[in-house]
Amino acid sequence: MRIWMINHYACSSAQVGGNRHVSLAGELVRRGHSVNLFASSFNHSTRTSCTANRRGRVWWEEFSGVEIGWLRTPPYFDNSFGRVRNELVFAWRLLQLPRYCNTRPDIIYAATPSLFAALASLVVARRLGLPFVLEVRDIWPQTIIDMGMSRFHPFAMLAAAIEGYLYRHADAITTLMPNAAPHLVAHGAAHERIYWIPNGVNFELVVSIRPAEQKKVLDVMYAGAYAGGNDPSALLDAAAELKRRGGATVRFRFVGMGVGEAAMMAKAKALGLDNVRFEPSVPKSMVYTLLSEADILVAPVKYLPVHRFGVSGNKVLDYMAVARPVIHAVRAPNHDVREAGCGIECAPHPEALAEAITTLAAMSPQQRWELGLRGRRYVEQNYDFARIAVKLEEALKSALDGRKTLRVPSASVEPCPDSQAVE
């Protein structure tokens, strides 16, 4: 297959940001397919552009056998008008893709969270008479409604209209959330066209695992964004709780940047925390080495009603990949840390986090290493991108065949499981 893969926010492993699509595309190339990946030239995490000193609307770069087309988009330094403008320009560039590219694809695969990019990709697919596959990374507009926006806000209403249109017209839908199928069906998707393609780990990037170094002060690390659905602020409250108790001797390391960083630093100062360190984000190719420096890795997640569909953050999987015990502070129907037996799943509250840190810190280094090894084995067996790409390949083939012969997708593709209630 010749595949056009589109994700506004895609990054290579040499950049700061998510590299899911570069990893998946690389695996598809290894399986004999041709992939062009299109992404925005402006990096959302670092607020920098990879085409700043280059001419043209598209700059091509080959990475792991994948041809990446960086579409020039304007910079922004906020999360409102500037970001929307950036997404609209990217969508406009996508509409011009048939003029930029000499090769014609067999199928177009586009990912949210940018609904504008997904809609533009659908338009291009229909113009060229090609099947269109949608990857649902976030439930729009429910996610932004849960984070405080009124469902009657014009943007939320526009997002709802685009969401329904995409669900009804996609030839297949993949989703990262294991229990999203009922919502997608309720908004126009056909159940037999929905496939669960979760996040994963690119094991080519993971350093050889080793036990944590012996030390008097344990490193408790959080790595990721300071905004969105993450809740690193709760970890600062947990640090304050441990200080009040005079509990475990630990140091907290926060690795990230961008929106929310200044507020996190101000809060740490206000709480009088002298065992907290803030560090800049690193490219994906370096993140596993950094994670290996930790003794305990923590992923606090805000509780949002939309999490009833499940969570599929790559943070926890990356944590497991370096064989360190994981604390996952989350309320959701899927339980990777619990199933792997590699740490503690707790409520997303500071007191629960403090208890979890105390429990793991009291263990011996060998006990923590054994927990970490369980997580490593779990992601090797369930979340290796090499395995996940096989599922994606079959989903793409089913959409291509279904477009030609009007058949339902192959039974060999793992369908998205039905929803489960959240207690």
Query: Which tokens belong to 195?
Result: 């496939």
Q: Does 61 share its domain with 125?
A: yes
Q: Rounded distance, CA 92 to CA 96, Å?
A: 7
3-state DSSP percent of the chain in helix, strand and coil, to 5: 40, 20, 40
pLDDT given at position 411: 35
Q: Does 236 share its domain with 153?
A: no
Q: What is the DSSP string of 108-171?
A: EEEESS-HHHHHHHHHHHHHHT--EEEEESS-TTHHHHHTT--TTSHHHHHHHHHHHHHHHH-S
On the CB side of 308, CA atoms within 13 Å amount to 12
pLDDT given at position 418: 40
Q: Does 123 share its domain with 152?
A: yes
Per-10-residue mean pLDDT of the chain, 423 residues long, equals 95 85 95 95 84 73 89 84 92 92 92 95 96 92 81 89 95 94 92 94 90 94 89 96 88 90 95 96 92 97 87 90 97 93 95 96 97 97 96 94 49 39 28
CATH number at residue 298: 3.40.50.2000
256 neighbors 232 (Cβ within 8 angstroms): yes
Report which of 286, 296, 312, 297 is spatially closest to residue 223, judged by C-alpha positions: 297
Give the domain extent around 46. 2-200+385-405
Q: Does 371 share its domain with 401?
A: no
| Residue 421 located in a structural domain | no
Say what the pTM is.
0.88
| Residue 418 located in a structural domain | no
7 neighbors 21 (Cβ within 8 angstroms): yes
| Residue 364 located in a structural domain | yes
Q: Does 368 share its domain with 398?
A: no
